[in-house]
Amino acid sequence: MQLYNTLSAEERAELIDQAGKQRLTLSFYAYAKIEDPQQFRNDLFIAWNALDALGRIYVAHEGINAQMSVPAENFEAFRATLEVYDFMQGIRLNVAVEHDDHSFLKLTVKVRHKIVADGLNDASFDVTNKGVHLNAKAFNTILEDPNTIVVDFRNHYESEIGHFKGAITPDVETFRESLPIINDQLKDYKEDKNLVMYCTGGIRCEKASAYFKHQGFKNVFQLEGGIIQYAKQIKEEGLESKFIGKNFVFDNRLGERITEDIVSQCHQCGAPCDNHTNCANDGCHLLFIQCDNCRAQMENCCSTECQEITHLPLAEQVKLRSGKQVGNKIFRKGRSENLRFKHSGSLSDAPLATTQESKDIRQKIRLKKILIGKAEHFYTKASVGLFIIENHELTLGDKILISGPTTGNQELIVEKIMVNGRDNTVAVKGDKVTFEVPFRIRLSDKLYKIIN
């Protein structure tokens, strides 16, 4: 019985590409009393692995917190695996605004002490006495009230690329840091102000709202479903977005766009930019904002020192980082002296620029393709390739990708094909097909059909 992921991220990405099926990125959480988190975890893994569901999930005695990627065709079956549990019947699934088939490449379900590291002693206050939940329309309305104070309960690297206008954005690296800071900063407004809070998907505010009511705040509100649900509702209902910029997300996308405004800068040159990346040096992996020009010049590195390290032989790179602690390396390191244009804390609501089509594939949905065959021969004089179809079919007019270590990734449209030596319009599994190829192909090359 498989209880853990057995494929590498690279292997899983290849399988996703070959399947060519649309995947949905979603998140959800639920606070509940779970007697045996380990058994609960195992049961979920078995059910989700069978549905090809991937993601990062934390379970604890207090509930579940999940960010996932699920095949669209398995969405209802996935929902059914949740609703067998009473506390998840009718649960809200926050479906992402932008989808990427590679948002998650592993299924990781971990048992934790808490589903969110908040540093709170839950026994000291009533965690069920929560703030009032507001939908997008109600949230927009309360923001117009001069007695409203809106607080961003995310970390500095999240709020830097996007936030609600006029929000307090604590300069913190963890959720637990923000709680005492906000409590002290707003101590004189407990009686007469509306304390309105928001986060990515709602889970941080679920606990924070109860905490602040315990601290004596009389009027506590929270954005239901967080920024993810807000973005969905304003789109469906045609509402004005009070959020400006991009919403940071904790998967391979590192962000999904809410408005066309760019409110942050490249940390290296200062140009308007809101694309996060991780330093290519495996001994660093600093999270920072980098524009396309700096990415090309710095080779996805945060500094010349890291850039030089990436050029060393792999054995030397491993030796340099041996014995050094790089735990939680992707999301904890949001600051460095190497970043000259890093901003956090009090952030501007004025956009620096608006988005344009980016050359950077990091924030784009990756090419969706299906593996349909492999190269058998290349006729040099005629510039014709011979392929055998092993899966699905090839049709005249299809856009294809020929890929290999030497060939690279070459796209073209099939304008004329010969199937088993005769003119035809369709080739199916087992057929040998030839067509003109304006570049040399190799026997190791694979043939893909591009389907988006």
**Residue in this structure with the two tokens 């900063």, named with its chain if needed:** 185
In whole angstroms, how far apart are CA 77 and each of 12, 83, 105, 436?
Answer: 21, 10, 20, 44
Give the max Cα distance, the chain: 84
Q: Is 52 left (phi over 0), alpha (psi -120 to 50) or beta?
A: left
Active site (annotated) includes residue 199: yes
| CA–CA separation, 117 and 113 (whole Å) | 8
From residue 351, how far is each of 31, 242, 252, 286, 291 by CA, in Å?
A: 37, 13, 25, 25, 16
Structure token digits, residue 334: 């949001």
Contact indicator for 218, 190 with CB cutoff of 8 Å: yes
The full length of the chain comes to: 452
Closest CA to 160 of 347, 2, 403: 347
Q: Which of 199, 205, 273, 302 is catalytic?
A: 199
Question: Crossing angle for the helix pair 136-143 and 226-237, nearest 10 degrees?
Answer: 100
Distance CA 298, CA 295 (A): 5
> Could you give the residue numbers annotated as active site?
199
